């Protein structure tokens, strides 16, 4: 060790000043863990509070309600986190969420496509919309905010025009089993959700795709210089979030047993998903985010809405609280990342 | 330009030109890098050094000219493609990702994988070994590079390329952010590589003293062409400084004249 140049001498982080080598690392890891842990604490605290305030909160039917409210937002948020981490955003996912069940309905009832194949094709069409989003963003260098704002209105327009703004029933061809699998049973939503969250968590943290997603969002030029095909990564992530949007739409259509052109409220569930991601510690600037945090963020939002309902607060302050939560978690994010970089010269 | 024996040649560039919009970055570059040779590339800011490096590593495609790797003509389609031909680069901006750990940066886009998952443990171990080999000390390879000093970041960028098994290394100002000690560390590394004789290297640097220490040959890039090419033994810091300063003076006086110097064709190389 005697002949090594100690390049470390200048970078001893200012706050602690303690000499131990593993300490900065441990502090760093604690920070990282806390990003998800802080949302977890909020989720648990809300649960405890509402449980003590209302006996109905922890009853099974109500837990099913919360699970069903959490799942679609968390499923979309899982993909949204990847898009956000790669430095983009997808505003069109709520529209895709509304379109996918209609496509299933059209394929089954007008083109006699078998139901399972129709579901797969509807998801493929969702992925195609994601591809268009990514392609326009990457190739024509249109900011994704604008690209997906445009495609969102286009897709909403397609939904309203083709459905004449009338809801449609779930196709007769969908058997009991299929309905149960795709959301018409109590725990189907949350089971899909947990599987998807687990998958995307691993994808983001343990695979090349995830690493390259972080690289592309964190340092676009550097990532390209290292030979990473930023365009491919971004397009792939757009395709994933759109597919998840279509899937979440399918689940909700089966759950409410009707295909509603206003499902997703135009932009509503997209904003819920982005809120969940942000509350869960994902930065809109790209480069950092967690899928589990986004899931917990969606859970917090669902708890808030459900719990306030139960204890008899009107739904109106919900938005107030949502807004405060977003702003506070954004400030915390910025502050945390500044802390993490304090050592940089 | 006459080519050397193909065996002794790592890289050859013939009549390469590159334009960005109306700006001519490279007019007509001819350059040859022997196998195991260390070539110093100097030139004033804006002479096109970084553009040339970015063409050689596949990041930019030239508008004209040919590139030969190991005697065979190639069209470098992408950075990945250049890497498969054994060309690796340390960029001036280092191309590090602040949000990723040291070891993930060291294996960026060359990650060790046990499909479908990353082999993090193996990458951590190898990153630690490589940095130790180089004599770089870092608190932990698991730290995000955002936390590190300029010198450490540079060392990591250099280590990443050196340990990539590249046969041709392009170093774009590898010494820029480094103190004397850290700079010596990189120069030693270059010398080690040279002694092993397997790697051919192009170094861009502004410190002529350092560059003369390790390079076999010096090329000067001026106005998008190589205008000077001498073995290190036949030149000196003084001569190189004079060349660049003379260019600066010429540009300065010509600015006083109506027609700017950008149209003046530089001398063909000797």
CA distance A284 to A89: 8
* DSSP category for residue B267: P
Question: Distance between CA atoms of B102 and B147, rounded to whole angstroms?
Answer: 10
Contact B59, B15 (CB under 8 A): no
Provide the pLDDT confidence category of residue A10 given band limits of 50, 70 and 90.
Answer: very low
Nearest residue to B93 (alpha-carbon basis) of B211, B217, B240, B204? B204
CA-to-CA distance for A205 and A200, rounded, in angstroms? 8
Q: Do A219 and B83 touch (CB under 8 A)?
A: no
What pLDDT, on a 0 to 100 scale, did the predictor assign at position A32? 53
* Contacting B residues, span 211-270, partner chain A, CB-CB under 8 Å: none
| Average pLDDT rounded to a whole number, residues A151-161 | 96
| Contacts with B111 from chain A: Cβ below 8 Å | 208, 211
Residues of chain A contacting residue B113, judged by C-beta atoms under 8 Å apart: 208
Residue A235 C-alpha, separation from nearest chain B C-alpha, in angstroms: 18
Q: Where are the domains of chain A?
A: 71-290
Span A169-179, pLDDT tens digits = 999 888 888 88
Fold entry, domain B6-98+149-263: Rossmann fold (3.40.50)
Q: Calculate helix-pair angle for A268-279, A93-111, nearest 10 degrees.
A: 130
Q: Is B138 on the interface with A (CB under 8 A)?
A: yes
Give residue-wise pLDDT tens across range A198-244: 999 999 999 999 999 999 999 999 999 999 999 999 999 999 999 99
Beta strand pairing call for B38-42 and B200-204: parallel
Residue among B50, B98, B157 with most chain A CBs within 10 A, to mutate: B98
Judged by CB atoms closer than 8 Å, whether chains meet at B95 and A221 is answered as: yes
User: pLDDT: is A300 or A345 the higher one?
Assistant: A300
ipTM score above 0.85: no
CA distance B221 to B239: 15
C-beta separation of A161 from A252 below 8 A: no
Q: Which residues of A touch B100 (CB under 8 A)?
A: 211, 214-215, 218
A2, A33, A216, A226: best to mutate for the B interface, most B CBs within 10 A? A226
Query: Is A10 close to B116, i.e. CB distance below 8 A?
Result: no
Would the pLDDT of A11 be above 60? no
Quick one: pLDDT band at residue A123, thresholds 50, 70, 90? very high
pTM of the predicted model as reported, rounded to 2 decimal places = 0.86
- According to DSSP, the β-strands at B23-34 and B9-20 are antiparallel
Residue B188 is predicted with a pLDDT of 85
- Preferred mutation among B55, B99, B120 to probe A, highest tally of A CBs within 10 A: B99
* CA gap A134, A137 in Å, rounded: 5
Q: Strands B72-74 and B23-34, how do they pair?
A: unpaired
**B93/A24 Cβ within 8 A:** no
Report the pLDDT value the prediction gives residue A342, as an integer from 0 to 100: 59
Find the angle CA(A13)-CA(A15)-CA(A17) to the nearest 5 degrees.
65
CA distances from B261 to A228, A266, B29, B49, B247 (A): 39, 60, 19, 19, 10
Residue B16 contacts residue B64 (beta carbons within 8 Å): yes
pLDDT tens string A39-92: 888 889 889 999 999 999 999 999 999 999 999 999 999 999 999 999 999 999
User: Which of B80, B109, B137 lies at the smallest CB-CB distance from A8?
Assistant: B137
Q: Which residues of chain B have pLDDT under 70?
A: 1-7, 177, 254-270
Pick from A225, A287, A345: CB nearest B150 = A345
């Amino acid at each position: 060790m005697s002949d090594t140049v100690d390049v470390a001498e200048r970078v001893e982080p200012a706050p602690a000043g303690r000499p131990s080598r593993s300490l900065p690392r441990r502090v760093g890891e604690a920070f990282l863990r806390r990003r998800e842990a802080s949302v977890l604490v909020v989720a648990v605290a809300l649960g405890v509070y509402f449980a003590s305030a209302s006996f109905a909160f922890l009853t099974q039917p109500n837990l099913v309600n919360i699970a069903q409210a959490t799942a679609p937002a968390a499923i979309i948020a899982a993909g949204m986190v990847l898009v956000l981490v790669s430095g983009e955003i997808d505003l069109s996912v709520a529209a895709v969420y509304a379109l996918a069940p209609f496509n299933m309905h059209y394929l089954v009832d007008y083109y006699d496509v078998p139901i399972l194949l129709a579901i797969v094709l509807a998801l493929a069409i969702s992925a195609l919309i994601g591809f268009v989003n990514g392609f326009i963003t990457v190739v024509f260098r249109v900011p994704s905010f604008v690209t997906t704002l445009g495609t969102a209105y286009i897709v909403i327009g397609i939904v309203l025009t083709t459905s004449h703004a009338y809801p449609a029933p779930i196709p007769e061809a969908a058997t009991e089993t299929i309905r149960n699998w795709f959301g018409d049973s109590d725990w189907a939503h949350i089971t899909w959700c947990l599987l998807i969250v687990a998958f995307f968590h691993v994808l983001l943290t343990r695979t090349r795709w995830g690493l390259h997603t972080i690289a592309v969002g964190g340092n676009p030029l550097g990532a390209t210089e290292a030979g990473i095909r930023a365009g491919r990564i971004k397009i792939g992530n757009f395709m994933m979030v759109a597919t998840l949007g279509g899937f979440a739409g399918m689940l909700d259509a089966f759950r409410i047993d009707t295909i509603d052109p206003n499902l997703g409220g135009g932009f509503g569930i997209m904003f819920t998903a982005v809120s969940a991601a942000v509350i869960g510690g994902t930065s809109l600037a790209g480069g950092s985010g967690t899928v589990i945090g986004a899931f917990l963020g969606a859970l917090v939002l669902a708890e808030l809405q459900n719990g306030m309902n139960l204890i008899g607060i009107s739904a109106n302050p919900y938005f107030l609280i949502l807004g405060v939560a977003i702003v506070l978690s954004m400030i915390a994010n910025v502050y945390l990342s500044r802390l993490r970089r304090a050592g940089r010269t | 330009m006459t080519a050397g024996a193909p065996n002794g040649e790592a890289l050859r560039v013939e009549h390469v030109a590159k334009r960005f919009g109306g700006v001519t970055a490279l007019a007509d570059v001819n350059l040859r890098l022997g196998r195991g040779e260390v070539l110093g590339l100097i030139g004033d800011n804006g002479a096109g050094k970084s553009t040339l490096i970015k063409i050689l590593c596949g990041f930019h495609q030239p508008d004209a000219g040919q590139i030969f790797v190991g005697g065979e003509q190639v069209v470098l389609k992408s950075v990945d493609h250049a890497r498969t031909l054994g060309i690796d680069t340390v960029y001036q901006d280092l191309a590090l990702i602040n949000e990723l750990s040291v070891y993930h940066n060291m294996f960026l886009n060359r990650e060790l994988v046990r499909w479908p998952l990353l082999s993090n443990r193996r990458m951590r171990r190898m990153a630690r070994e490589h940095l130790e080999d180089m004599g770089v000390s870092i608190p932990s390879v698991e730290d995000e590079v955002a936390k590190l000093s300029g010198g450490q970041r540079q060392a990591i960028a250099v280590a990443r390329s050196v340990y990539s098994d590249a046969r041709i290394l392009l170093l774009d100002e590898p010494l820029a952010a480094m103190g004397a000690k850290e700079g010596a560390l990189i120069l030693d590394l270059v010398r080690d590589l040279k002694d092993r004789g397997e790697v051919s290297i192009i170094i861009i640097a502004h410190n002529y003293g350092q560059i003369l220490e390790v390079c076999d040959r010096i090329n000067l890039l001026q106005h998008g062409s190589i205008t000077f090419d001498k073995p290190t033994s036949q030149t000196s810091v003084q001569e190189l400084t004079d060349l660049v300063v003379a260019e600066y003076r010429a540009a300065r006086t010509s600015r006083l004249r109506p027609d700017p110097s950008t149209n003046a064709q530089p001398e063909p190389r000797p």
